Amino acid sequence: MPNLLEMIESVKQEDASARALFNSGDGVGAKHMNKGKNYLKSFAEAADLVSGVYSGRLPFRWFKEAMTTDDFPFLFGDILDRQLLANYLEYPSTFRNYCKIATVSDFRTVKRFVTSGSEGVLSIVPEQAEYPETSIGEAKYSYSVSKYGRKIPFSWETMVNDDLDALKDIPARLGRAARRTEQKFATDLYIGTAGPDSTFYNAGNFTNVVTSNPVLSIAALQAAMTILAAQTDSDGEPILIDA
């Protein structure tokens, strides 16, 4: 898990969408605290205290005393927010290599449009000749987002009394759980029986599956890689995935 103070700096450098959610007090304590120029200073002091208690550099009673103040519980909540975010961003994901990522403002169904084609190799255009036309495929689809989450049933008193650090890695666990949830959702779109493309890997799609569905082996993996390498896009060109 990243050091708490290092994690603060890493959050500062995240992409705009992450900063919009987690900058200057936009965590759990945002509605309770002034988001002015003193927020980051107070947050850093709270993070230093928590880090010191976790490492044994500072006595645990300091943490207990701080939890009785008006603002520290909310600062501590923001620390957990940022720990969760840091671990979420640190955990690897593969679906972003082949999925288009977009954001929505609410939970209502939204419509999206997509075009395909016109990615083939360009033709030579002679002097004063017309540029050749190409066709572009169009499609539309709709979707809505849902909220996912989990609640860990322990109280502030339990957290304060956790002198053996049994709960220290809770933000890391939840960050990993969030990444795994995204990865499973994206994978289920292709292989889930209830997914929008649930027949993608059916036996009838011989270009997507290895004949006879052999057991996992080096030879079977090589056969699968050969099939994948032979895939082409709507222009008949090889499909390239930027890693």
User: Domain residues of the chain, as ranges?
Assistant: 4-99+163-191, 110-143
Look at residue 7 and tell me whether its pLDDT is greater than 50. no
pTM of the model: 0.58
Question: Can you give the pLDDT at residue 219?
Answer: 92
Q: Which residues, 6 or more positions from 152, have their beta carbon under 8 angstroms from its beta carbon?
A: 170, 174
Tokens representing residue 104 in the block? 């929505």
Calculate what percentage of the chain has a pLDDT beyond 90: 14
The mean per-residue pLDDT over the stretch 173-190 comes to 89
Average pLDDT, the chain: 74
Question: Can you give the pLDDT at residue 108?
Answer: 95
Question: Can you give the pLDDT at residue 218?
Answer: 94
Question: Ramachandran region of residue 99, left (φ > 0), alpha (ψ -120 to 50) or beta?
Answer: beta
Question: Can you give the pLDDT at residue 98?
Answer: 80
Question: Can you give the pLDDT at residue 43?
Answer: 63
The mean per-residue pLDDT over the stretch 140-157 comes to 83
Q: Of 12, 32, 31, whose CA–CA distance to 22 is shortest?
A: 12
Q: Three-state SS string across 104-155, please?
A: CCCCCCEEEEEEECCCCCCCCCCCCCCCCCCCCEEEEEEECCCCCCCCCCCC
Question: Can you give the pLDDT at residue 207?
Answer: 72
Coil, strand or helix at 44: helix
